[in-house]
């Protein structure tokens, strides 16, 4: 079945019947988890919640930016949809937003980059994360750096001159900032890539969720190219 990293990249791939059944089971499990998250959040004061997550509370909705789109979560139902008057978001996207709201504690961006290994418990999964993030970035763009630059700019990436290589920062959620870095290859050294996080990222998302966002930006860059 398509993994969560596939879902993080946007539209899912087409699925056969067996894969579709497995996906439905996964979605049912995530729906139950979403309901548990909603129950936790609904006991909070919505204006305080919006302030902590860098959003706004208006007209019985928590409004925030998600992958450069304005989205809302109705209060107190916490049903997520694209604004204005857009479609309801997928189970996966709703889960990402709910985990963001649950985790948000109002911390400021640290303005310091760290690797996945430095996130809570990140060392256990750092090699796997590199495989589906930085390694994919290098494979896709290592010999075509201009395509990477064009894709990053098209997705609203901000150049990061303080980082080595070709680095761009993205903000999938108001208080979560990540960066993709491409080190183009040459005759002596193979291309390398990495995904970095603002050091405050763990104040706004679980480590697993950050892995999905990191994979998601790589998928979006590849699709845009």
Give the C-alpha separation, 74 to 84, whole Å. 13
Distances (CA, A) of 182 to 1, 41, 164: 29, 38, 9
Look at residues 114, 215, 214 and name the one whose alpha carbon lies nearest to residue 163: 114
Every domain of the chain with CATH number 3.30.310 lies at 113-224
**N residues, the chain:** 225
> What confidence tier does 90 reach under pLDDT thresholds 50, 70, 90?
very high
Q: What's this model's pTM, rounded to 2 decimal places?
A: 0.87
- pLDDT tens per residue across span 3-37: 444 445 555 545 466 656 665 666 678 889 999 99
- pLDDT tens per residue across span 98-112: 999 999 999 999 999
Give the C-alpha separation, 198 to 44, whole Å. 27
Angle formed by the axes of helices 46-53 and 91-103, nearest 10°: 90
61-66, strands of its sheet edge to edge: 56-58, 61-66, 69-74, 80-82
CATH of domain 113-224: 3.30.310
Tokens representing residue 3 in the block: 């993994």
Residue ranges of E strands in the chain: 56-58, 61-66, 69-74, 80-82, 113-114, 158-159, 166-173, 176-183, 192-198
């Amino acid at each position: 079945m398509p993994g969560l990293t596939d879902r993080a990249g946007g539209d899912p791939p087409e699925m056969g019947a067996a894969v579709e059944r497995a996906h439905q089971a996964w979605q049912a499990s995530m729906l139950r988890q979403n309901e548990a998250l909603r129950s936790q959040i609904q006991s909070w004061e919505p204006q305080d919640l919006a302030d902590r997550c860098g959003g706004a509370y208006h007209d019985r909705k928590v409004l925030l930016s998600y992958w450069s789109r304005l989205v809302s979560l109705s209060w107190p139902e916490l049903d997520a949809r694209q604004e204005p008057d857009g479609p309801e978001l997928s189970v996966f996207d709703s889960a990402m937003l709910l985990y963001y709201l649950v985790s948000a504690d109002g911390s400021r961006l640290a303005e310091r980059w760290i690797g996945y290994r430095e996130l809570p418990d990140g060392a256990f999964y750092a090699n796997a994360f590199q495989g589906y993030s930085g390694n994919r970035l290098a494979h896709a763009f290592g010999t075509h750096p201009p395509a990477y630059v064009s894709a990053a700019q098209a997705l609203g990436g901000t150049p990061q001159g303080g980082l080595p290589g070709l680095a761009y920062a993205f903000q999938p959620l108001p208080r979560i900032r990540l960066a993709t870095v491409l080190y183009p290859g040459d005759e002596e050294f193979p291309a390398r890539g990495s995904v970095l996080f603002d050091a405050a990222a763990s104040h706004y998302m679980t480590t697993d969720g950050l892995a999905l966002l990191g994979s998601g930006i790589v998928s979006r860059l590849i699709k845009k190219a």
